[in-house]
A and B are shown apart, each in its own frame.
Chain A
Amino acid sequence: NAGVTQTPKFRVLKTGQSMTLLCAQDMNHEYMYWYRQDPGMGLRLIHYSVGEGTTAKGEVPDGYNVSRLKKQNFLLGLESAAPSQTSVYFCASTATVGREGAYEQYFGPGTRLTVT
């Protein structure tokens, strides 16, 4: 199993350009997440999905859109990139959210995005 994979690994955009980050998981997980990681701020949740066809906003959703057309894929879009979106983006997935169930988010390797 590849686990959680992210495409691309690196990207440089100019202000105003658009792009889509792809996350794929082969663990049949229901829940998927997009985070951004910035120095001194930890990981902040951008958007998440509790199942195929669903999406919801996290802590910092502005400037991003997401889609979950297939259970194994979760796409993060930037319609008009801004320098403030320079960050490392991580995708994660998890199988169970139940109180008694094991709960572990599995993270991808990240995408380093620079917006100039």
Chain B
Amino acid sequence: QQQVKQSPQSLIVQKGGISIINCAYENTAFDYFPWYQQFPGKGPALLIAIRPDVSEKKEGRFTISFNKSAKQFSLHIMDSQPGDSATYFCAAKKSNTGKLIFGQGTTLQVKP
């Protein structure tokens, strides 16, 4: 079963706009929620992450919003740039393990 559901599958945003990707999880036994960014032909790389005792984390143009009661978290990319065009994966780490459960991925295209 898919424990982490990600939407949308694809997203097109104009340069300077805000990109928003959403994830929902089903299991409460997660203790860490990262977002990974993947460029074509490359492996994923950690972008930003949050722990469930925090409602928001911001790093530059990237922000994670976390809603524990709704079991949802989202990635916001402010002032989106063509260089942000990539596939983004949310994930959730199972407590007391090193295992990540990934969402299905979102392909973002930022048009100049």
Question: Which A residues have a C-beta under 8 Å from some C-beta of B?
Answer: 4, 31, 33, 40-45, 48, 50, 58, 90, 92, 94, 97, 99, 103-105, 107-110
Q: Check if B99 sits within 8 Å of A103, measured CB to CB.
A: no
Tell me whether A90 and B43 are in contact in the complex, defined as CB-CB below 8 angstroms, given that A31-B98, A45-B99, A58-B99 are known contacts: yes
Within 8 A of A (CB), among B17-39: 31-32, 34, 36
List chain A residues, Cβ under 8 A from B55: none
Q: Check if B46 sits within 8 Å of A104, measured CB to CB.
A: yes
- Expressed in whole angstroms, the minimum distance between the Cβ of A59 and any Cβ of chain B is 8
Known: A42-B89, A90-B43. 18 other contacts (CB 8 A): A31-B98, A40-B9, A41-B104, A42-B4, A42-B6, A42-B103, A44-B102, A45-B100, A48-B98, A58-B99, A97-B97, A99-B31, A103-B34, A103-B98, A104-B34, A105-B46, A107-B45, A109-B43
Per the CB 8 Å criterion, the residue count for chain B at the interface is: 24
Question: Which B residues have a C-beta under 8 Å from some C-beta of A?
Answer: 4, 6, 9, 31-32, 34, 36, 41-46, 49, 89, 93, 97-100, 102-105
CA distance A50 to B96 in the complex (A): 12
Q: Check if B99 sits within 8 Å of A50, measured CB to CB.
A: no
Cβ 8 A contact of B98, one of A42, A43, A50, A90: A50
